[in-house]
Structure 1
Amino acid sequence: MASVNKIILLGTVTTAPDFRVLSGGSMMVSLQMETTVGEETESHDVTFYGRLAEIVMQYVAEGSVIFVEGKIRSRQYRDKNGVERLVTDIVSQKMQMFGRKKDIVSDTDDLFSKDNPYKKAREGRGDPPDLSRFEYDDW
């Protein structure tokens, strides 16, 4: 019999990403996000691995809006008190950020405001922001 384990979420990150380096040297990042449908809000634990985890750690912050596609994973473990626990989380296979990268917000400002740095540069009132640190491959 065929089966499918797939979940798609679009929501707001409610905790700062937390990372661990696994024994093989790859990175694992976990965070919580909220989704709201109507008046019902759900909290989800999401885990990212490898290169995707590195991108999340670098660019996603509490308050970011992200799209996550992945699978549901349930696992059991014993905590330090010997109590058996069941944990269900989402293992992300794809992620897309909505909005701006957290580390360049101050350089770009709001492009529609009177303080637009590009407008100031065109008018001779300053230099445009240095965008050389943009990594367009990561978008």
Structure 2
Amino acid sequence: MSVNEVTLIGNLGDKPEIVVFPDGSRIAKLSIATSHQWRDKQSGEKRESTEWHRVVLRGNVVNVADEYLNKGDKVYIKGMLKTRSYEDKNGGGTRWTTEVIAYNMQMLNTAPSKPQYNNQRSQQHNNQPNQQYDNPQFGGQQPNPQYSNEQFAH
């Protein structure tokens, strides 16, 4: 048995990049920063390191990300790691990247007046400050580990 699951809570480094494919499908690429703080044992100074994560959203959540997410917003992401290759546009040959393919995204610091999203419908909830989206590709659940990587090809 193996597990390929990632959970992130972090801040967006920029507005989502929306990519439209020839067949009309769209993805949103996010850059999410997470930070770790600690106290240096020798000097007693507070230290911090930041890690950047590439996240890919698919399905209806792309519309939500495009309309509501902005630089600095805090988001919760649950997904799985996928490594893929691509050709460097500047003739640098084949490059590799590892991304989080998200199947759940929750906006943590958006205004309560914005609509809530899940995999079934859009609906106004003025009394709930968090917005959540479960990717319908996975039925709102963790993906079956038997799925092939071809489902994420793009």
Q: Tell me if both proteins adopt one fold, taking TM over 0.5 as the criterion.
A: yes
Following superposition of structure 1 onto structure 2, how do residues 10-89 of structure 1 map, counting pairs within 5 Å?
Answer: 10-38=9-37, 39-80=48-89, 81-89=91-99
- Provide the aligned length of Structure 1 versus Structure 2: 108
Once the two structures are TM-superposed, the CA of residue 70 in structure 1 deviates from its matched residue by 0.5
Structure with the greater alpha carbon radius of gyration: 1
Alpha-carbon distance in structure 2 between the residues aligned to 1:41 and 1:82: 28
Q: Aligned partner of 1:94: which letter? A: N
Alpha-carbon distance in structure 2 between the residues aligned to 1:73 and 1:56: 21
**Alignment match, 1:91:** 101
Q: Aligned partner of 1:27: which letter? A: R
Q: SS of the counterpart of 1:66?
A: strand
Q: Aligned partner of 1:53: which letter? A: V
Gaps of 5+ in 1: 102-107, 109-130
Once the two structures are TM-superposed, the CA of residue 135 in structure 1 deviates from its matched residue by 3.1
Matched, 1:7 2:6: yes
Could you say what the CA RMSD is over the residues aligned between the two structures, in angstroms? 1.9
Q: SS of the counterpart of 1:70?
A: strand
Q: SS of the counterpart of 1:15?
A: coil
Higher strand content, 1 or 2: 2
**Alignment match, 2:151:** none
Instruction: Compare 7-16 and 70-79 and name the one that shifted more.
Output: 70-79
Q: TM-score, normalised by structure 1?
A: 0.70
Once the two structures are TM-superposed, the CA of residue 82 in structure 1 deviates from its matched residue by 4.8
Alpha-carbon distance in structure 2 between the residues aligned to 1:5 and 1:93: 12
Once the two structures are TM-superposed, the CA of residue 88 in structure 1 deviates from its matched residue by 1.0
- Counting aligned pairs with the same residue, the percent is 28
Higher helix content, 1 or 2: 1
**Alignment match, 1:135:** 115
- C-alpha distance after superposition, 1:86-117 (max 9, x if no partner): 1111111100011224xxxxxx8xxxxxxxxx
Q: Aligned partner of 1:12: which letter? A: N
Structure 1 residue runs of 4 or more that deviate by more than 6 Å after TM superposition = none
Once the two structures are TM-superposed, the CA of residue 43 in structure 1 deviates from its matched residue by 0.5
Alpha-carbon distance in structure 1 between the residues aligned to 2:64 and 2:2: 30
